[in-house]
């Protein structure tokens, strides 16, 4: 069962592993902050991305989370909806397809697992979130 939107409010730490079909594996870790924005929550993520021996890079992203599990891009465009039953969700970006499954069974520790396929992308990404 998906937690209530307000249950996400606050600071979370995250650890992410990215496995590319034809490339180097990557890791990222940092903080995700959910803050009220008047319509739901704003998700702001800042972390350090590490690919092999290359110097770490700062990575950021922002999404808007709404009631009913609706996730929007920062500019308000639809991204995906988190199913209440933890089933899969999808997002189509041109010919590339993003499949995601969220797992809230060990709440407040939760995960998202992405599988991205298409002519331009082929990777899996797993992220673990914990209260931070």
Tell me: the pLDDT tens digits for 27-83?
999 999 999 999 999 999 999 999 987 889 999 999 999 999 999 999 999 999 999
**In whole angstroms, what is the distance from residue 79 CA to residue 5 CA?**
17
Q: What pLDDT is recorded for position 63?
A: 98
Enter the tokens of residue 113: 């697992």
Q: What pLDDT is recorded for position 1?
A: 84
The percent of the chain in helix, strand and coil, each rounded to the nearest 5, is 5, 65, 30
Asked, as a colleague might, if the bond just before 108 is cis with ω within 30 of 0, I would say yes
Q: What pLDDT is recorded for position 86?
A: 74
pLDDT tens for each residue of 74-129? 999 999 999 988 779 999 999 999 999 999 999 999 999 999 999 988 999 999 99
Residues 6+ apart with CB under 8 A from 99: 88, 89, 90, 114, 115, 116, 117
């Amino acid at each position: 069962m998906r937690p209530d939107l307000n249950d996400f409010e606050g600071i979370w730490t995250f650890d992410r592993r990215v496995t590319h079909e034809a490339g180097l594996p990557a890791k990222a870790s940092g903080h995700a902050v959910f803050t009220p924005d008047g319509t739901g929550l704003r998700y702001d993520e800042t972390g350090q991305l590490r690919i092999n021996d290359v110097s770490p890079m700062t990575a950021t992203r922002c999404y808007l989370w709404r009631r009913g599990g609706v996730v929007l891009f920062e500019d308000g465009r639809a991204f995906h909806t988190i199913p209440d039953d933890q089933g899969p969700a999808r997002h189509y970006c041109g010919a590339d397809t993003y499949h995601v499954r969220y797992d809230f069974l060990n709440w407040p520790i939760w995960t998202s697992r992405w599988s991205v396929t298409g002519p331009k992308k082929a990777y899996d990404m797993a992220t673990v979130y914990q209260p931070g």
